[in-house]
Structure 1
Amino acid sequence: MPVENVERLTIGIIGAGSIGSTLARRLARHGHDVSIANSRGPETIDEAALRTGARAVSAAEVAQGVDVLIVSVPMNRNADIAEHVRSAPEGAVVIDTSNYYPMRDGSVRDFEEGVPESVWLSELFGRPVAKAWNAITSQSFDAKATEPGDPARVAIPVAADRDADRAVAMRLVEQTGFDAVDAGVLAESWRQQPGSPVYCTDRTAAEMPDWLAAAEKERVPKRRDLAMEVIGDYVRAGGSVTGPFLVAVNRASYS
């Protein structure tokens, strides 16, 4: 059954890193019933993620009875939590925030051959997924939330094969302080993957459609690797990686 009341949802979050923790705070503050889990147990979840009412639970519990399940783990950890995703109710909306970086995740043949990341995850989970919150740095996500109507409000692309899933994910993106932009179906979600012009470049909703359209599939992974090389050289030279620095490098590398 589709999710009907998007103003009061039961939401589970797998992953208590920077994005997952911020999601827990923002969505609980908005009135949703939020639980969050990681692989190490509820007692290890930082209290900062719980300060607005989210609850720390075990990974085995987090998907039980949810309307929405958000998966926010590194790409190479998704296989480890797939059983928990599959245990979510049939009608739950599953939202993926992860990205593939071969230097961290190891080489995955399907990705190297151009299979969009969330298409692959949908097959891994055996569930339809929506892709959201993947194309923003944790620094921007933490610091740049604003109210609707702000002309400089940062936008986040959202892709899904089912219109109802995309609508729920877009509504939640708005509730976390960003404009949501309809990025179409999962087959086109490579347009918001690392290396694309909208990936972690803090575009506005007015700018994003043109930048989504400007993405060139064969060049996206090459630009991803170029940006990582630039950032790596900068760190090795003693530089400090800040949110504005990352956005500037990404804009220069991906545009």
Structure 2
Amino acid sequence: MKIGIIGTGNIGGVLARKLKAAGHEIRVANSRGVDGVRAFAEEVGVEPVDIRGAVNGADVIVLSIPLPALSALPADLFASVPAGVPIVDTSNYYPGLRDPKIEAIDQGMTESIWVTRQIGRPVIKAFNNLLAYTLAELGRAQGVEGRLAAAVAGDDQKAKETVMSLVDRVGFDPVDGGTLGESWRQQPCTPCYCCDYDAQTMRRALALAVKGRAPVIRNELPRHFQLLGPNPSHDDVVAMNRSFNPLD
């Protein structure tokens, strides 16, 4: 497939590498234009484009930029994109760590519902509940014991199945997270968020999520990261996330 990726940070950059390795035709863009993404694109072997080049003619579009940047995208960016093209939202809301406060989300709006309102198109929520290291290093072939899982939520079943196939191709078991309105179950500080679980445990974690609990934990994240120190290991971050919502 032709896949356009806007954002080449921790998640977008890894997805570009892994989806290219899986045989897809990848275009990458960021806020700095073609020249701003050219060095990364040449390193990975993908095509550097501007944000309009990333969406035009794409079979799948991946948005992997911070939430505030999503609201700054051109209002007509997706005007010519056919309705059936999946638009993947990998973002997470981190107030106090990276993002300014977003009142609608603070008042309870599901993050990806907020995203759909910013871009004027429905999205599929995916790849947001994996740490970048997990995505880059811990993928396994289908059927391998201990394969980890990633949740995928959305309202368009066909689009969701397309995205779930990409999750599988990059080395993870896709787990259906329900509708987009239910994607709060995979937001930061929920039981399934960045805990490196297999598919069976991921389904259990999604079911155990309690609406309204995660934002309380999330607001304490700056303090928790201070306790971990300036360069926490992947295992330390996973252990911290698991401690927020013990499954036993």
* CA-CA distance at 1:86 after TM superposition: 4.3
Residues 67, 115 of structure 2: 8 Å contact kept:
no
Q: Work out which of the residue numbers 88, 95, 111 in structure 2 matches 1:102.
A: 95
* CA-CA distance at 1:234 after TM superposition: 2.9
Q: Tell me the residue number matched to 1:68.
A: 60
* CA-CA distance at 1:228 after TM superposition: 3.4
AA at the equivalent of 2:188: P
TM-score, length of structure 2 as denominator length: 0.92
For structure 1, list consecutive stretches of 5 or more residues without a partner in the other structure: 1-8
Residues 196, 215 of structure 1: 8 Å contact kept:
yes
Provide the secondary structure at the position in 2 that maps to 1:61: helix
* CA-CA distance at 1:46 after TM superposition: 6.7
Provide the secondary structure at the position in 2 that maps to 1:216: coil
Q: Tell me the residue number matched to 1:57.
A: 49
Q: Work out which of the residue numbers 4, 12, 17 in structure 2 matches 1:20.
A: 12
Residues 152, 204 of structure 1: 8 Å contact kept:
yes
Q: What are the superposed Cα offsets for residues 225-254 of structure 1, whole Å, 9 maximum, x if unpaired?
A: 23432112332xxx5212111111111123
Q: Tell me the residue number matched to 1:231.
A: 225
Q: Work out which of the residue numbers 88, 94, 97 in structure 1 matches 2:81.
A: 88
Q: Work out which of the residue numbers 235, 238, 242 in structure 2 matches 1:244.
A: 235
Q: Work out which of the residue numbers 11, 14, 38 in structure 1 matches 2:30.
A: 38
AA at the equivalent of 2:5: I
TM-score, length of structure 1 as denominator length: 0.90
Q: Tell me the residue number matched to 1:185.
A: 179
AA at the equivalent of 2:158: A
Q: Work out which of the residue numbers 134, 140, 163 in structure 2 matches 1:140.
A: 134
What is the Cα-based RMSD across aligned positions, in Å?
1.6
* CA-CA distance at 1:82 after TM superposition: 4.8
Q: Which moved more, 1:35-44 or 1:86-95?
A: 86-95
Provide the secondary structure at the position in 2 that maps to 1:196: coil
Residues 227, 249 of structure 1: 8 Å contact kept:
no
Provide the secondary structure at the position in 1 that maps to 2:71: helix
Tell me how far apart the structure 1 counterparts of residues 24 and 42 of structure 2 sit (CA, whole Å).
13
AA at the equivalent of 1:253: F
Taking structure 1 as reference, are residues 233 and 77 closer, same or farther at Cα in structure 2, changes over 3 Å only? Answer: same
Q: Work out which of the residue numbers 192, 202, 222 in structure 2 matches 1:198.
A: 192
Tell me how far apart the structure 1 counterparts of residues 242 and 74 of structure 2 sit (CA, whole Å).
33
What number of residue pairs does the alignment pair up? 244
Provide the secondary structure at the position in 2 that maps to 1:119: helix
Residues 226, 253 of structure 1: 8 Å contact kept:
no
Tell me how far apart the structure 1 counterparts of residues 221 and 56 of structure 2 sit (CA, whole Å).
39
Residues 122, 128 of structure 1: 8 Å contact kept:
yes
Tell me how far apart the structure 2 counterparts of residues 210 and 252 of structure 1 sit (CA, whole Å).
16
Q: Which moved more, 1:216-225 or 1:203-212?
A: 216-225
The reply to whether residue 164 of structure 1 matches residue 155 of structure 2 is no
Q: What are the superposed Cα offsets for residues 130-166 of structure 1, whole Å, 9 maximum, x if unpaired?
A: 0000001111111111111122111000000111111
* CA-CA distance at 1:11 after TM superposition: 0.7
Tell me how far apart the structure 2 counterparts of residues 88 and 79 of structure 1 sit (CA, whole Å).
18
Taking structure 1 as reference, are residues 21 and 42 closer, same or farther at Cα in structure 2, changes over 3 Å only? Answer: same
Residues 158, 183 of structure 1: 8 Å contact kept:
yes
Taking structure 1 as reference, are residues 100 and 254 closer, same or farther at Cα in structure 2, changes over 3 Å only? Answer: same
Tell me how far apart the structure 1 counterparts of residues 233 and 36 of structure 2 sit (CA, whole Å).
26
Q: Tell me the residue number matched to 1:4.
A: none
Tell me how far apart the structure 1 counterparts of residues 86 and 48 of structure 2 sit (CA, whole Å).
20
Provide the secondary structure at the position in 2 that maps to 1:135: coil
Q: Work out which of the residue numbers 148, 154, 163 in structure 2 matches 1:154.
A: 148
Taking structure 1 as reference, are residues 86 and 116 closer, same or farther at Cα in structure 2, changes over 3 Å only? Answer: farther
Tell me how far apart the structure 2 counterparts of residues 49 and 215 of structure 1 sit (CA, whole Å).
38
Q: Tell me the residue number matched to 2:113.
A: 119
